[in-house]
Structure 1
Amino acid sequence: MKAIIPVAGAGAKLRPHTYTQPKALIPIAGKTILSFIVDQLHEAGITEFVFIVGYLGEKIQEYVMQTYPELRTHFVYQNERQGTGHAIELTKNIVGDDEVFVVLGDTICDYDIKEVLDSPFSMLGIKKVDDPRNFGVASVNEEGFIEQVVEKPAIPKSNMALVGLYKIKESHFLYECLHQLLSQNIKTYGEYNLTDALDCMIKRGAKFKSFKVKSWFDCGKKETLLESNAILLKKFGANIISEHSFKDTIIVPPVSIAPGCNIENSIIGPNVAIGANTTINHSIIRDSIIGSYTNLFEVVLDNSLIGSDASVKGLSRSLNIGDNTEIDFG
């Protein structure tokens, strides 16, 4: 089985951070979004990965090659963003007839991955949501088989949203339906959509069973990214290198602090993730994500997202600052 991870999106809702950093490499709970996905699949036994890259794709490739040298990896460039269906279609020659597990590049979920991989059926991950109109929506029968999937329906038939996890056994069938979408120019909301290809497979007799995810961590925009960071920190606990020594500093867990940080005269936490080689002095930080090589002095941060190589000085409350930024509130 091969894993396919589309990470070609520009991440517009997370700007200014995604001007200089792919969304998949945004830090969360001491790791990157992409690492949560790859680690989960690798630990389940998948060793071959296909990454669909585009915007800042060279950074994704460099990160994967450095972090996961033991994996067999392929990089496919989606130069024009024409939807998830178009992205997956680009992987046809690499996948061949192998089974595939598609995980969207901003999808961190808690689920029984072994149960999914061991199932004799193709599987789609679902979760009940209050308003399914912004998601792919699945209609599921009493046996748990999926009868229909529709992308962002105006009047949803169910409240079961597709979460971005797709195990597909009949990959040749998938690529036939993707080819049909592209050749007949069948688009939804202006894009070739993977949901439409899956519905094509169902209509032509493919069997898809649903599986429910325990948790679905939304990493699409600042507010939900910070919420997900807090939940994941609580779930996995603190991650602070033992040789750290923070002078006159109070740590309120859960907190993740990467190596090389210098923190003095500060209060850190709860729910704070700090990247490597960051310096913090005379500051109070809670419910925030701080990038690497960043300098913070005399700041009070709450529900903030600070990029890498940034510098912030002076009193503040809630910020959303991208990489390579310098701000002085003095």
Structure 2
Amino acid sequence: MKAIIPVAGAGTKLRPLTYTQPKALIPIAGKTILSVIVDQLLESGVNEFVFVIGYLGEKIQDYVASNYPNLKCSFVTQNDRKGIGHAIGLTRANIDMDEPVIIVLGDTICDYDLKKVLTSDVSLIGVQKVDDPRNFGVAELGPEDRVTRVVEKPLIPKSNMAMVGIYFIRETRIMFEALETVFSRPVAKSGEFPLTDALEEMIAHYKVRFDAFRINTWFDCGKKETLLSTNATLLKYAAQQRAEEQSDVVIIPPVSIAKGCKIRNSIIGPNVTIGEATKIEFSIIKNSIIGSYAELEDVLLHGSIIGNDAFVRGSSQSLNIGDNTEIDLR
């Protein structure tokens, strides 16, 4: 079975980190967002992947080649940011029209029974109840969780069941036909073609049956605060990674410290992810994500995200720093 993973978004809510690094490659609980998704799919029997890339797409390609050298995959480039529906439409030549496909958005980390989803007799949409559904695609449900209608970011929602970004499609050919119908219409004010519109076309015009399946947990990777919260939650369940013992270091679990790190005279944790080959001295770090090849000296960091190759020296702050940055807080 094939999976389509759109990772072409610019990740504007996580800037400046995403100026130089795709959101899908931000480290989280010892992995990246993308590797969490790919590993979950591989473990459940998905054997081929189609990645829709765009902004900084070459970094996605390099990452996949380096970390999944035997992965059967292809890459499709979305040059224009015209939404998820447009991204999926670009994959038509890479997908077998007579086989089901699973679509997982590249920033969607969820806890759910994936094997059960992949063996479903009908198409499925992943949902979770939210307090304010106006910023989501929303699924309206009938008896036995049958999806009766889907709407993209409704002003007056008739349901609080948000679509989380996981779709199992059995009627693959019909999905692409529905996408072509959507593309023939005037583009929305947002300038994008939502996948939601094609799903609604499948339900209303083609009478395709969609059932909703409920997500156990939906990890939000869209903003700094929620990304840090997700990192803390996933660290509780991840296998703990530790750098080799350093001098005068106190580790407060859970933490994930990648290989090649040099840490001394510091306190690390709880809820800290540190990328590889990072150097930390005379510092206290908690509830933070630190990229690879960074250098931190004489700092007290909390609730912070530090990019790759960043240099920070100095005071106590809450920071959101992109790659290749030098900060001196003294």
TM-score band by shorter chain is over 0.9
> 5+ unaligned residues in a row in structure 2: which ranges?
none
* Matched residue, 1:169: 170
SS at 2:46's partner residue? coil
SS at 2:145's partner residue? coil
- Counterpart Cα distance in 1 of 2:170 and 2:89: 16
- Counterpart Cα distance in 1 of 2:100 and 2:58: 27
* Post-superposition offset of 1:303: 0.1
Correspondence list, 1:208-247, <5 A? 208-241=210-243, 244-247=244-247
Correspondence list, 1:66-81, <5 A? 66-81=66-81
- Counterpart Cα distance in 1 of 2:185 and 2:129: 33
Encode CA deviations 1:110-149: one digit per residue, 9 max, x unaligned.
0000110111011100000000000000011121110000
* Post-superposition offset of 1:69: 1.5
Which runs of structure 1 show a deviation greater than 6 angstroms over 4 or more consecutive aligned residues?
none
* Matched residue, 1:159: 160
Encode CA deviations 1:180-199: one digit per residue, 9 max, x unaligned.
11122353633111000001
Correspondence list, 1:1-330, <5 A? 1-97=1-97, 98-187=99-188, 189-203=190-204, 204-241=206-243, 244-330=244-330
* Post-superposition offset of 1:235: 2.0
Cα pair distance change 1:278/1:255, threshold 3 Å: same
- Counterpart Cα distance in 2 of 1:156 and 1:127: 14
SS at 2:144's partner residue? coil
Encode CA deviations 1:31-75: one digit per residue, 9 max, x unaligned.
000000000001101110000000000000111111112211110
* Post-superposition offset of 1:179: 0.3
Encode CA deviations 1:236-290: one digit per residue, 9 max, x unaligned.
242225xx01211100000000000010010000000000000100000000000
* Post-superposition offset of 1:321: 0.7
SS at 2:232's partner residue? helix
Q: Which moved more, 1:149-158 or 1:232-241?
A: 232-241
- Counterpart Cα distance in 1 of 2:124 and 2:187: 24
- Counterpart Cα distance in 1 of 2:176 and 2:140: 23
The one-letter amino acid of 1:33's match is I
Encode CA deviations 1:56-103: one digit per residue, 9 max, x unaligned.
000001111111122111100000010111110000111031211000
SS at 1:200's partner residue? helix
Encode CA deviations 1:201-227: one digit per residue, 9 max, x unaligned.
001210011100111010011111000
SS at 1:9's partner residue? coil
* Post-superposition offset of 1:170: 0.5
The one-letter amino acid of 1:227's match is S
> 5+ unaligned residues in a row in structure 1: which ranges?
none
- Counterpart Cα distance in 2 of 1:54 and 1:247: 43
The one-letter amino acid of 2:147's match is I
